[in-house]
């Protein structure tokens, strides 16, 4: 069929629309129709599918129209291949009016799919695919309000069971766009953010329960992208979030879900030293001790310079945390605090505690190495033996890169630096120290190491 005839044919069909459905058609009892109508329906479905699978969309168009108009409840393939056919037509023309007609037809096909297959396929899934095709066909002219409304309905209906999974991301992009174009919609964006984060967490939990690691990983990336967008938006700065939640915490002090939301929100943008964060932490810890509440109380103790109690709450946060990597990170935060105070022994212990939760935490070994190097000149009574402390530090760096390849670059850089501080060969000879022998490094370090010389 030549393109002129094809365009005219399609235009006529678009005008007629779904109203051309055969009189007396029963989509429930006879979805294929009766008698010869049933035979024709099955033939058209076969022709449509064969052509569409081969991407011969012009050939697929005629039988698709027959099936769509006369037996619309017969096969879901009508609604799978229909958008592909009309998107191909949309791409093949430069006529703006025809492009709009083809776009409208694609949107209509999804609405008709909801009518006939809404019980078989989740409404949210169909709405998401409808939205994706709308965005594809409209390009940069897509109305973000339309995208937002459709995806809002989809995501809030399916919650933690949303499919396709990237609908969470597209929805938050649309919500962010609404906020950026109208600052009065900031609260809407913030509410959407926490709602969707809850859904994503539900989806991750579901994927984990199903041992679906691929989707666990993918949803993790989706979540990370949403968080980055929120932090970068300006809607979620410390001042805004504290103002947003300021008068909501007290009335909700018995609401565990809400208090967790507050802590997660403030924590996601680094607002863990505000009075509101501490208050929410105290309320939540009273109701149900959790990693978040314990971490909040630990931060409060740090602010008040109550370090012993801070250690208690950091340890409790790590113990209550179900994510072992996060638990390890909590102990590394504590190790960093002690390191800044030059309390090397307690810093090392916290780093070792971090390794209890995550034995492959290379940063823990690197921190211990740096602690050793920082005290190298204060371990031996003979200053010349300081190089032996650097040997012990290099031991930790070698261990770091062996358990955690991601820190190999940093570890190698420090190894090169510390190796330059090993004992000089001549000085070692005069002190009776030989390369390769085992020596004890005294003081708070209290470890043995293998002698290396330069």
Element spanning 449, H or E: strand 447-450
The pLDDT assigned to 6 comes to: 45
- Mark whether 72 and 180 lie in a shared domain: no
Burial class (CB in 10 A: 0-12, 13-18, 19+), 181: exposed
- Mark whether 17 and 88 lie in a shared domain: yes
Does residue 16 lie in a domain region? yes
pLDDT digits (tens, 9 = 90+) for 154-172: 999 999 999 999 999 999 9
Domain around 415: 362-454
pTM of the predicted protein model: 0.57
- Mark whether 150 and 114 lie in a shared domain: no
- Mark whether 27 and 70 lie in a shared domain: yes
The pLDDT assigned to 269 comes to: 79
Does residue 286 lie in a domain region? no
Q: Is the Cα torsion angle 376, 380, 381, 387 positive or negative in sign? A: negative
* Residue at which a domain ends, from 235, 250, 273: 235
Element spanning 441, H or E: strand 438-441
3-state secondary structure of 138: helix
Burial 392-401 (b: 16+ CB within 10 A, else e): bbbbbbebbb
Distance of CA 181 to the CA centre of its chain: 25
Neighbours of 76 (CB within 10 A): 13
DSSP state letters, 9-68:
HHHHHHHHGGGGPPTT--TTT-TT-SHHHHHHHHHHHHHHHHHHHTT-HHHHHHHHHHHH
- Mark whether 2 and 68 lie in a shared domain: yes
CA dist., res. 274 & res. 45, Å (int): 64
Does residue 13 lie in a domain region? yes
* Percent of the residues in the chain that have a pLDDT greater than 90, as a whole number: 68
* 137, 106 Cβ separation under 8 angstroms: yes
- Mark whether 367 and 440 lie in a shared domain: yes
- Mark whether 80 and 174 lie in a shared domain: no
The pLDDT assigned to 17 comes to: 47
The pLDDT assigned to 23 comes to: 66
Residue 14 has pLDDT above 60, yes or no: no
Does residue 64 lie in a domain region? yes
3-state helix, strand, coil in the chain (%, to 5): 75, 0, 20
What's the structural domain count of the chain? 3
* Residue at which a domain ends, from 170, 204, 235: 235
Element spanning 427, H or E: helix 425-430
Does residue 171 lie in a domain region? yes
- Mark whether 148 and 210 lie in a shared domain: yes
Looking from the CA of 161 toward its CB, the CA atoms found within 13 Å total 7
- Mark whether 13 and 49 lie in a shared domain: yes
- Mark whether 155 and 114 lie in a shared domain: no
Q: Is the Cα torsion angle 58, 59, 61, 62 positive or negative in sign? A: positive
Cα–Cα nearest to 259, from 277, 284, 237, 238 = 284
DSSP 8-state symbol, 360: T
- Mark whether 115 and 148 lie in a shared domain: no
Parallel, antiparallel, or unpaired for β 447-450 and 438-441?
antiparallel
Cα–Cα nearest to 410, from 370, 373, 371, 366 = 366
- 257 — pLDDT class (breaks 50, 70, 90): confident
Residue 9 has pLDDT above 60, yes or no: no
pLDDT digits (tens, 9 = 90+) for 96-116: 999 999 999 999 999 999 999
Region for residue 27 given its phi and psi (left: phi exceeds 0; alpha: psi -120 to 50; beta: otherwise): alpha
| Cβ within 8 Å of residue 311, ≥6 positions away | 334, 346, 350
CA dist., res. 391 & res. 278, Å (int): 43
The pLDDT assigned to 293 comes to: 83
Does residue 274 lie in a domain region? no
Does residue 403 lie in a domain region? yes
| Cβ within 8 Å of residue 165, ≥6 positions away | 203, 215, 218, 219, 222
Residue 11 has pLDDT above 80, yes or no: no
- Mark whether 105 and 155 lie in a shared domain: no
DSSP state letters, 154-207:
HHHHHGGG-SSTTHHHHHHHHHHHHHHH-GGGHHHHHHHHHHHHHHHHHHHHHH
Q: Is the Cα torsion angle 257, 259, 261, 263 positive or negative in sign? A: negative
The pLDDT assigned to 292 comes to: 81
Rounded to the nearest 10 degrees, how much is the dihedral formed by the CA atoms of 78, 79, 83, 89? 20
* Rg of the chain in Å (alpha carbons): 32
Burial 376-389 (b: 16+ CB within 10 A, else e): beebbeeeebbbbb
CA dist., res. 387 & res. 410, Å (int): 20
Does residue 35 lie in a domain region? yes
The average pLDDT across 115-142 equals 93
* Residue at which a domain ends, from 72, 92, 121: 121
């Amino acid at each position: 069929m030549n393109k002129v005839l094809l365009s005219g044919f399609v235009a006529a069909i678009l005008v007629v629309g779904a109203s051309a459905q055969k009189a007396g058609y029963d989509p429930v009892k006879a979805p294929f129709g009766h008698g010869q109508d049933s035979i024709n329906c099955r033939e058209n479905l076969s022709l449509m599918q064969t052509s569409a699978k081969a991407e011969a969309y012009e050939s697929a168009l005629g039988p698709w129209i027959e099936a769509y108009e006369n037996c619309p409840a017969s096969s879901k393939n009508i609604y799978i291949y229909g958008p592909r056919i009309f998107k191909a037509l949309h791409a093949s023309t430069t006529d703006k009016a025809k492009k709009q007609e083809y776009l409208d037809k694609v949107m209509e096909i999804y609405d008709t799919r909801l009518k006939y297959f809404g019980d078989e396929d989740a409404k949210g899934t169909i709405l998401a695919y409808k939205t994706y095709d709308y965005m594809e066909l409209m390009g940069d002219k897509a109305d973000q309000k339309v995208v937002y409304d459709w995806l809002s309905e989809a995501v809030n209906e399916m919650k933690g069971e949303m499919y396709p999974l990237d609908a969470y991301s597209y929805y938050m992009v649309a919500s962010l766009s609404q906020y950026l174009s109208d600052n009065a919609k900031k609260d809407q964006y913030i509410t959407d953010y926490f709602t969707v984060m809850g859904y994503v967490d539900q989806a991750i939990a579901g994927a984990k329960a199903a041992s679906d690691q691929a989707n666990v990983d993918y949803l993790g990336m989706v979540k990370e992208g949403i968080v980055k967008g929120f932090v970068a938006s300006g809607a979620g700065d410390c001042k805004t979030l504290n103002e947003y939640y300021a008068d909501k915490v007290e009335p909700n002090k018995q609401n565990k879900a809400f208090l967790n939301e507050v802590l997660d929100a403030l924590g996601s943008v680094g607002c863990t030293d505000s009075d509101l964060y501490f208050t929410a932490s105290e309320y939540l810890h009273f109701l149900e001790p959790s990693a978040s509440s314990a971490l909040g109380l630990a931060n409060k103790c740090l602010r008040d310079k109550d370090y012993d109690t801070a250690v208690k709450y950091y340890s409790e946060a790590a113990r209550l945390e179900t994510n072992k990597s996060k638990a390890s990170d909590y102990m590394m935060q504590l190790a960093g605090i002690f390191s800044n105070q030059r309390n090397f022994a307690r810093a090392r212990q916290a780093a070792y505690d971090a390794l209890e939760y995550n034995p492959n935490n290379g940063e823990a070994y690197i921190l211990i190495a740096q602690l050793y190097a920082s005290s190298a000149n204060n371990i031996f009574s003979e200053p010349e033996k300081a190089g032996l402390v650097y040997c012990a530090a290099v031991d930790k760096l070698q261990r770091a890169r062996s358990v955690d390849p991601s820190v190999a670059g940093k570890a190698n850089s420090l190894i090169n630096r510390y190796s330059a501080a090993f004992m000089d060969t001549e000085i070692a000879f005069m002190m009776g120290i030989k390369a390769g022998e085992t020596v004890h490094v005294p003081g708070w370090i209290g470890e043995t190491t293998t002698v290396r010389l330069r």
